[in-house]
């Protein structure tokens, strides 16, 4: 399948793996890339730029296909060594970077100078247009369904994607609620040039996370996510568990008086405990409503092959078949 995204990234299929904290290690990125998609290493999961350099090298040993690195720019009292991470990406020969969080404008010249393609994650059309205006090569448009941070506009993809198609000139990926062939064909129909899957790739054999997490995703329904930190205007969609219930109770009881410090036990440093050790009630972890569409734990190759085979069938048989002769 040929789209503006496959052409831009030099990949076979218009499917990208999103950056995910303590999930996007070299094993998963390489498996997705080897299957014809675009695998992505999560930069800030690596504690230092040197660690990221080693992870990029590890991934390079596992695949000769294109892969990317996610770099999330967040406001912080003690910000990460962003210049160091950018240097590790450039020195590692990575050609695609997924940026997220704050405006990546100050980092674009260094990346573009060496021919790196930049795709920025956005949760609104206005942010996507801003990314286009500063020189991003593509954007990932995240609907309200998505795991992680859906923004504060609450616009689902059935509206957001066609709006993006009306406004944008650069290619864009549909993100949030993407899991299968129907997701891909619908995204293409609404104007996207491919899809970005996060939660779906967590439930694969190569995802280097605890089996408890994978089983929780398979067992969950589309009704099992919750929105946290709304009152702090830092909304995050997560899978319900005991830690999340404790957090929501604090939000309810403290109301407008809540501060980030009040919920630190449920959100700070919980990812290693959950993703690596399988402590499922340790706290909040990003997860999309798409869990309702995830029923198995295939290899990345089998997952992507099935999506592409069924997508062709949907387009040729179902959609073309609906047209009157």
CA 289 vs CA 115, 147, 160, 199, 240: distances in Å: 35, 7, 16, 9, 11
Q: What is residue 77's predicted lDDT score, i.e. its pLDDT? A: 75
CA 243 vs CA 44, 267, 284: distances in Å: 23, 9, 6
The tens digit of pLDDT for each residue in 220-266 reads 999 999 999 999 999 999 999 999 999 999 999 999 999 999 999 99
pTM above 0.85, yes or no: yes
Q: What is residue 324's predicted lDDT score, i.e. its pLDDT? A: 75
**Structure-block tokens of residue 308:** 């592409």
The tens digit of pLDDT for each residue in 20-54 reads 999 999 999 999 999 999 999 999 999 999 999 99
Max CA separation in the chain (angstroms) = 64
| Arithmetic mean of pLDDT, 48-62 | 98
Strands 236-239 and 225-228: antiparallel
| Arithmetic mean of pLDDT, 271-282 | 96
Q: How many CB atoms lie within 10 A of CB 78?
A: 4
* Residue owning tokens 């695949």: 63
**Structure-block tokens of residue 240:** 């319900």
What distance in Å separates the CA atoms of residue 157 and residue 91, rounded to the nearest whole number? Answer: 36
What distance in Å separates the CA atoms of residue 211 and residue 205, rounded to the nearest whole number? Answer: 9
Please answer whether residues 41 and 49 qualify as being in contact, where contact means their C-beta atoms are separated by less than 8 angstroms.
no
Burial 234-269 (b: 16+ CB within 10 A, else e): ebbbbbbbebbeebbebbeeeeeebeeeebeebbee
Q: How many CB atoms lie within 10 A of CB 131?
A: 27
Q: What is residue 96's predicted lDDT score, i.e. its pLDDT? A: 98
Which 8-state DSSP code applies to residue 105?
Answer: G
Q: What is residue 153's predicted lDDT score, i.e. its pLDDT? A: 96
Q: What is residue 75's predicted lDDT score, i.e. its pLDDT? A: 76
Q: What is residue 325's predicted lDDT score, i.e. its pLDDT? A: 66
Burial 142-156 (b: 16+ CB within 10 A, else e): bbbbbbbbbbeeebe
What distance in Å separates the CA atoms of residue 218 and residue 214, rounded to the nearest whole number? Answer: 6
What distance in Å separates the CA atoms of residue 59 and residue 30, rounded to the nearest whole number? Answer: 6
Q: Please report the DSSP string for 253-317 in residue order.
A: HHGGG--GGGGHHHHTT-HIIIIIT--TTSS--B--GGGGG------HHHHHHHHHHHHHHIIII
Share of the chain above pLDDT 70, in %: 100
What distance in Å separates the CA atoms of residue 11 and residue 141, rounded to the nearest whole number? Answer: 19
């Amino acid at each position: 399948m040929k789209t503006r995204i496959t052409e831009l990234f030099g990949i076979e299929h218009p499917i990208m793996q999103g950056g995910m904290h303590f999930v996007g290690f070299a094993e998963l990125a390489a498996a997705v890339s080897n299957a014809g998609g675009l695998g992505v290493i999560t930069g800030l999961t690596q504690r230092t730029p040197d660690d990221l350099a080693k992870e990029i090298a590890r991934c390079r040993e596992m695949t000769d296909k294109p892969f990317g690195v996610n770099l999330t720019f967040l406001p912080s009292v003690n910000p990460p060594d962003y210049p160091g991470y950018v240097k590790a990406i450039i020195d590692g020969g990575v050609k695609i970077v997924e940026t997220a969080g704050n405006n990546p404008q100050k980092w674009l010249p260094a990346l573009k100078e060496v021919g790196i393609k930049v795709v920025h994650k956005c949760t609104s059309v206005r942010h996507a247009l801003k990314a286009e205006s500063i020189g991003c090569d593509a954007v990932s448009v995240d609907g309200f369904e998505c795991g992680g941070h859906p923004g504060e506009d609450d616009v689902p993809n059935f509206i957001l994607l066609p709006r993006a198609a009306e406004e944008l000139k650069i290619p864009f990926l549909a993100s949030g609620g993407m899991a299968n062939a129907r997701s891909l064909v619908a995204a293409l129909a609404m104007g996207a040039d491919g899809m970005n899957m996060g939660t779906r790739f967590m439930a694969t054999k190569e995802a280097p996370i605890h089996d408890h997490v994978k089983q929780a995703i398979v067992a969950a329904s589309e009704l099992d996510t919750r929105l946290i930190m709304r009152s702090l205007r830092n909304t995050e969609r997560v899978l319900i568990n005991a830690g999340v219930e404790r957090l929501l109770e604090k939000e309810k009881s403290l109301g407008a008086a809540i501060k980030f410090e009040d919920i630190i036990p449920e959100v700070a440093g919980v990812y290693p405990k959950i993703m690596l050790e399988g402590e499922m009630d340790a706290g909040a972890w990003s997860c999309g409503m798409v869990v309702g569409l995830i029923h198995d734990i295939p290899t990345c190759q089998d997952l992507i092959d099935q999506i592409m085979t069924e997508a062709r069938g949907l387009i040729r048989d179902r959609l073309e078949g609906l047209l009157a002769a």
